[in-house]
Chains A and B, each alone.
Chain A
């Protein structure tokens, strides 16, 4: 996420300094994010939790401009509270995502934040919604942020429908670890939130506990990159 509000757009457009991912499994959802907040080249917060609650069993993952994303999450939190009092029951994930979409779309010129909404409700179970730039779409899994470009291939190859809770958590941790090792704007620790009918489980995986992949410089120094 960007500490300042200005747009570090590269040649490919808007750059969102983070990696966020959400995946639905049979009975719930898992959301994950990295923890780095950068302002230009400086890391201003290396342990920021980008998974923000919108309601008891609905969370959102923030990316893009830190201020914009946090403000959207707070506003939607308030609106969802009012809505759930009015209808006198737990709000649907679809409602939360629609509220996020309404704000993102109405102010799309001024804001630069992308929120992925994930949660569990009685009607449809675990659901993940992507709300990039004002669209709303339900997907089996969603990735976002600048680090997500590096793992598109990995998630395309590794995703299987109807994974278990344990497999989904591993999928999220592996994807975050790969993205954090390639993207300069993602790093720190990995935060995980698992939501199902029982409740919400929050977990933090420290940097040295993240899975490691093949890296010739560490594993076989004699075969490391040389000139």
Chain B
């Protein structure tokens, strides 16, 4: 994140310069979001679950255009907005990328000002402000998960209209309807890392098996106090169920 250095110097000299730069950034991003309805949509399954000491955030890897063309088999929908804060996106890919880029920028600025790593809630609030203030034009929902020193592992859901909610686990995307029953039945609070990883992989595999716009590989990011670790479970290593 080398953007820090330039802005710190400029800030001391000329605050108006920074403001203009920021405004230009917004205009450029808004132009990109006009094509959200017909463009690439993620049609996806995303989930996040807290366990004892951290949080796992996971997703499938398929991006589709319309309902019959897979435009990417291996897209990574887990975006890092800070060292220990990740976001996963559902909905229009263009909107989601624009919002997360903006949030990353604002978050890095915020953490310089506060001189400490940002709170997960701060990251989620930034996304919520962006979603709520632009609710007519945007079509994307987010799950923000991470670890901070104040409250430990947390998960926040920012829905499409701009609602912000904190939950111990959450699922989202088109494939999530098929696994509501499974996650309701199988989630236990304070699981171990192994149990939580198994839970996430199973849930995503089940959703990918039933939803035709979710598929590919499973991406998981495990965030704990020590840092963030990215795990990829390829298709042939996914758990198999009774009819496969």
Interface residues of A (CB under 8 A from B): 149-161, 174-175, 178-179, 181-182, 213-216, 220, 223, 225-227
Given A149-B177, A220-B189, are A157 and B165 neighbors across the interface (CB < 8 Å)?
A: no
CA distance A181 to B180 in the complex (A): 10
CA distance A159 to B210 in the complex (A): 15
Kindly list chain A residues whose C-beta atoms are within 8 Å of the C-beta of B210.
152-153, 156
Q: Does B179 contact A (CB under 8 A)?
A: yes
CA distance A157 to B181 in the complex (A): 10
CA distance A216 to B209 in the complex (A): 28
Decide if B167 touches A160 in the complex (CB within 8 Å).
no
Query: Can you add 18 more A-B contacts, CB < 8 Å, to A154-B179, A155-B181, A157-B182?
Result: A149-B177, A150-B177, A150-B178, A150-B180, A151-B180, A153-B180, A153-B181, A154-B181, A160-B242, A178-B180, A182-B180, A182-B181, A182-B184, A214-B184, A214-B188, A223-B189, A225-B165, A225-B166
Kindly list chain A residues whose C-beta atoms are within 8 Å of the C-beta of B145.
none
Decide if A214 touches B187 in the complex (CB within 8 Å).
yes
CA distance A151 to B241 in the complex (A): 14
Total contacts A to B, CB within 8 angstroms?
79
Decide if A179 touches B242 in the complex (CB within 8 Å).
no
Interface residues of B (CB under 8 A from A): 164-168, 177-189, 202-203, 206-207, 209-210, 241-243
Main DSSP-derived SS at the B contact region: helix
Kindly list chain B residues whose C-beta atoms are within 8 Å of the C-beta of A161.
242
Kindly list chain B residues whose C-beta atoms are within 8 Å of the C-beta of A174.
185
CA distance A215 to B183 in the complex (A): 11
**Closest B residue to A156 using CB positions:** B241
Find the residue from A152, A179, A220, A223 having the highest chain B CB count within 10 A. A152
**Closest B residue to A150 using CB positions:** B180
**Closest A residue to B202 using CB positions:** A157
Decide if A149 touches B178 in the complex (CB within 8 Å).
yes
**Closest A residue to B206 using CB positions:** A153
Partner of A213, one of B167, B184, B209, B241: B184
Given A223-B168, A225-B167, are A157 and B184 neighbors across the interface (CB < 8 Å)?
A: no
